[in-house]
Structure 1
Amino acid sequence: MTGPDHQPDGAAHRRRPDRERKPAAFRLDDARVRLDSDAHEALTRGETRVVPTGGSAPRPAAATPERSPRSVSWGRWLTVGLGGLASLAIGLSIDALIRDLFARTDWLGWLAVALAGLAAIALLGLILREVTGLLRLKKIDEIRTSLTASAEDDDDAPARAGLRQLIALYRERPETARGRRALADHLGEVIDGRDLVILAERDLLKPLDARALRIVNDSVKRVSVVTAISPRAVLDLAIVLVENLRIMRRISALYGGRPGVFGFLRLARHVAAHLAVTGGMAAGDSLVSQLLGHGLAARLSARLGEGVINGLLTARVGIAAIEVCRPAPFIAARGPNVSDVMGELFKGDPEAQALLQEAKAAPPGKD
């Protein structure tokens, strides 16, 4: 319905175009309210006209996002072309080598054929391993997405389906037998989706989380100590890079990933994206912010050199790898953070522990 049109004393009254009439409420059964569509008939004193509009205004159609024209991926075509040429060159070289060996003597030719067949079988095995690794990583991502949605919506149907996939993922892991049995019992007793995910986190994934945190702690200690005594910055960079790649592979294997070369590259890309989203060096972590803000890192670096900063970077990469490789979200339990790893790093150093306690106790704005 349209808004009321009030005309005092029955006289036609036109509103000034620059003045807006304030909204008002009327009862439709009031005798002073007239429901008609004749907007030209004069009203008496105190009457109000409400004119039906014949339906609500049509809603504007949702704007369809314009699709940007797809550009030709010249880099991809270049890679395909060069890869095809390299494959042809290798094949022709092997063929020429086998022919030359047959021309010399038959047994050398047959030996070359056997070695070429062995190489072909090994190549096929590598391809199958890469495909299997990519499929396992994709399955873990799907399980995590399903469990995250079911925990947010408290829906038991997708939670049960995702947890059955989780049990199947670890069915060949003897150390998870107890957790798998407990989780299978919960599937027949608990009806809330969020509670099922929390129980899976407690019974099945908690031991794996503890092992993953130990992997991160060991890597952080190794990086901190080795880079502290390393005489060259290039050597420090190589050590940090190798250790970060190693920690990603170990954590992925722990949670059931077992990626190949291409799967590992995909995993590294996901970890890098996660680090970019969460702020790189954990800028939001209060303990790290206070540690750097109070200048305590410089005091600690007198004992460990640049190993502390390298250890922080490794810790952040390890924590990102845990969150990316873990097949379920952190719901009830708090995920590991840089403060936990730092506390373990300086566990045996009383002076460092005192500095950390000072950073925790001091106000964030105090220098």
Structure 2
Amino acid sequence: MTDPPRHPGFADRPSANGSAAARGARAAERRPSLLSPQEGQGAVVASWAPRELGSARRGLGTLGLVAAGGVVLIVAWAAFGLASMVASQFDASPLLGWLSLGAVGAGAGLIGAAIWREARALRSLARVDELRAALADPAVPLARARAASLDWVRDVALRLPEAGRVVPAIEAARSVEEIMAHLRAGVVVPLAAEAARIGRHAAVEGGAVVALSPSPALDAALALWRGLAVVREVAALHGLRPGVAATQRLLARTASIAATTAGADLLAQGAAERLLGATPIIKELAATVPGASVAAFRLYRLAVATAAACSPLPPR
């Protein structure tokens, strides 16, 4: 009897006499997979979904820890240095000690007032966010939505008296949708009109500044300064008190609003350009300085987008 012909191969090559099931099992063991055997059991059907990934851990990153440590060191250095200075002045003379203590106290009071102003500005911006969330959530009780709306309306009425006319209607409203309708018709629309007026005024000033500016670099700086003034003015109109941190957050929200409403902005661009083009001053400036009309239009759109960012109702 002759032996069957031999073929070169690996030692773990399955023999020809092995069953198909055994060969399939061994092949499945060697086959690379992304899931463990327990997770991979069962067919992948339309209802199958992978395990959700956990959210990233939030907290201070490396740069945040470095910045926080630097702030602590600077504050400690300043505090101990000032305390040592006051103590040395008391050793030299009681009068000098009290004068130095009064100067340090006045400086600390001014810094505390600035911090309190920033905290109040951030709180006023957060209040608009809370009202927006309350009006958008159908599960929020009507009494809570009414109280938050009345608080915001009464604050706005200090600068826009006609907004106070909707207070009785909001108090008598029987649904959140009815409150939103009264807010939009009686408060948001007048605020948008006033913001548009601020934008047109800023457009005239911005176009004139660009026309008188001797260099393009100075044009950008002046437009940035006037744009920040527009944002703060429109925010104050809506009852906000923007400080440095609140203005930065409001600018980020304005950019987000402008990005999400880009289609509506393009549709409204022709009307806005015709509106600004009908203004005699901007029309004359656009004829002499090409960049003046562009700066005027941008300032106008910035005022409109800021009004949408400060409103508790979503823009239409």
Q: Which amino acid aligns with 2:313?
A: A
Greater relative contact order structure (CA < 8 Å, 6+ sep) = 2
Q: Structure 1, residues 148-193: CA drift from partner, whole Å, max 9, x if none?
A: 455xxxx8x65653343122124354455664353323542x4353
Matched, 1:121 2:109: yes
The answer to whether 1:236 aligns with 2:223 is no
Q: Give 1:203 deviation, angstroms.
A: 2.2
C-alpha distance in 2 between matches for 1:315 and 1:256: 20
Post-superposition Cα deviations, 1:74-115, rounded to whole Å, max 9, x if no partner, equal 110111111112112222331232233234322111111122
Task: Tell me the CA shift for residue 212 of structure 1.
Answer: 1.6
Contact preservation (8 Å) 1:282, 1:288: no
Q: Residue 341 of structure 1 corresponds to which residue in structure 2? A: none
The RMSD of aligned alpha carbons is 3.5
Select 1:75's aligned residue among 63, 81, 87.
Answer: 63
Identity among equivalent positions (%) equals: 23
Distance across 2 between alignment mates of 1:242 and 1:289: 22
Indicate the residue corresponding to 1:305 in structure 2. 290
Q: Report the Cα offset of residue 124 of structure 1.
A: 2.6
Q: TM-score, normalised by structure 1?
A: 0.62
Cα separation, partners in 2 of 1:119 and 1:282, compared to 1, 3 Å: same
Partner amino acid for 1:125?
A
- Write the distance in 2 (CA, Å) between the matches of 1:169 and 1:204: 10
Aligned residues of 1:171 and 1:177 also touching (Cα < 8 A):
no
Matching residue within 166, 189, 192 for 1:182: 166
From 42, 48, 53, the equivalent of 1:66 is 53
Q: Deviations over 1:122-145 (max 9, x none)?
A: 333322222222121111012123
Match of 1:86 in 2: 74
CA distance in 1, matches of 2:175, 2:262: 34
Give unpaired runs (5+ residues) of structure 1. 1-57, 292-298, 332-367
Q: How many residues align?
A: 264
Seen in structure 2, the aligned counterparts of structure 1 residues 326 and 268 have a Cα distance that, compared at 3 Å, is same
Question: Is the contact made by 1:220 and 1:312 (CA closer than 8 Å) also made in structure 2?
Answer: yes
TM superposition shift of 1:283: 4.3
Match of 2:303 among 312, 318, 329: 318
Aligned letter for 1:109? G
1:256 is matched by which residue type in structure 2?
A: G
Counterparts of 1:265 and 1:286, CA distance in 2: 26
TM-score normalized by structure 2? 0.71
Structure 1 or 2: larger helix share? 2
Q: Could you tell me which residue of structure 1 aligns to residue 230 of structure 2?
A: 247
**Aligned match of 2:176:** 193
* Aligned partner (choices 236, 239, 254) of residue 271 of structure 1: 254
User: Do 2:206 and 2:223's aligned partners in 1 also have CA atoms closer than 8 Å?
Assistant: yes
**TM-superposed deviation, 1:207:** 3.1
The 1:230/1:158 distance shift into structure 2, 3 A limit, reads: farther
**AA of the residue aligned to 1:89:** W
Show structure 2 runs of 5+ residues with no match: 1-44, 275-283
